[in-house]
Amino acid sequence: MKKILSAAIVMACMLPSFSHATETGEPVKTYSFSKKKAPAEWSTGKTFLIADDRRLGLFNDRNKKYPSATTLTVSNIPQGSSVEISFDMIFVGSWDSEGKLADRFTVSIAGGPVLLDMTKFPCAVIDDDDNQPTGHDGFVRVGERDRAYWISPVSVEVPASLIINGEATVEFKGFLTGRKTEFWAIDNVTIKFR
Ligand SMILES: [Ca+2]
């Protein structure tokens, strides 16, 4: 009997260590969009092949053929925890960091505050020529043309104060000046509770 009791105590002591592992950085959820349709937590289902890897996208807020934004609903967030969302942002075409054609990308609470406001992009071209990209990760066919793409790791935190009833809906949105020349997609999303 004594043996059984001590085994139960050891088991009970092990339980908190599981939640501790989560706090110290184990993802509670990952999305790699390996199927044609994205999981239901995402408001848009369409995926697109870039370098033989499915990504959520493409998006363009000025072109009716594409959705302009997507939202991700994160549920079962422990009380008092914040949420860290990390993902690969894929910039397709030559996004502009300045000037009249400047583009923008935001991550925000749906209908609420902006968490990340991006105005600097890695899309560099030589001599202002879209046919001479530099530092890009490859080319992808969009419509009738091959376009360069750049992949940047992005991380954003949803503070505990913006989480209501253990849930947060986060919106990803691009504000593009190019209707047919600029697009975006996301991939390899990981969710961590902090
Ligand atoms: Ca993927």
pLDDT in tens, 5-32: 455 444 444 444 444 444 557 899 999 9
Distance 66 CA to ligand 1 centre (A): 19
Distance 51 CA to ligand 1 centre (A): 10
Tell me what pLDDT residue 24 has. 58
CATH topology of domain 27-193: Jelly Rolls (2.60.120)
Distance 133 CA to ligand 1 centre (A): 23
Domain ranges of the chain: 27-193
Measure the CA–CA gap between 124 and 134, rounded to whole angstroms: 6
**126-142 per-position pLDDT tens digit:** 998 888 999 999 999 99
Distance 54 CA to ligand 1 centre (A): 4
**109-122 per-position pLDDT tens digit:** 999 999 999 999 99
Is the pLDDT at 4 greater than 80, yes or no? no
Tell me what pLDDT residue 25 has. 73
Distance 127 CA to ligand 1 centre (A): 32
Asked if the peptide bond before residue 58 counts as cis, ω within 30 degrees of 0, the response is yes
Is the pLDDT at 157 greater than 90, yes or no? yes
Distance 188 CA to ligand 1 centre (A): 6
Upper half-sphere CA count for residue 139 (Cβ side, 13 Å): 11
Is the pLDDT at 163 greater than 50, yes or no? yes
Distance 43 CA to ligand 1 centre (A): 17
**pTM (2 d.p.):** 0.86
Tell me what pLDDT residue 20 has. 44
Is the pLDDT at 2 greater than 70, yes or no? no
DSSP letters of 141-173?
EETTEEEEEEEEEEEEEE-GGG-BTTBEEEEEE
Average pLDDT, the chain: 90
Strand residue runs (E) in the chain: 29-31, 47-50, 53-59, 69-74, 83-92, 104-109, 114-118, 124-125, 133-134, 138-142, 145-158, 168-175, 183-193
Distance 27 CA to ligand 1 centre (A): 17
Distance 32 CA to ligand 1 centre (A): 4
Distance 50 CA to ligand 1 centre (A): 8
Give the pLDDT mean for 70-80: 97
Distance 19 CA to ligand 1 centre (A): 28
Greater pLDDT, 50 or 3? 50
Distance 7 CA to ligand 1 centre (A): 43
**50-65 per-position pLDDT tens digit:** 999 999 999 999 999 9
Distance 35 CA to ligand 1 centre (A): 9
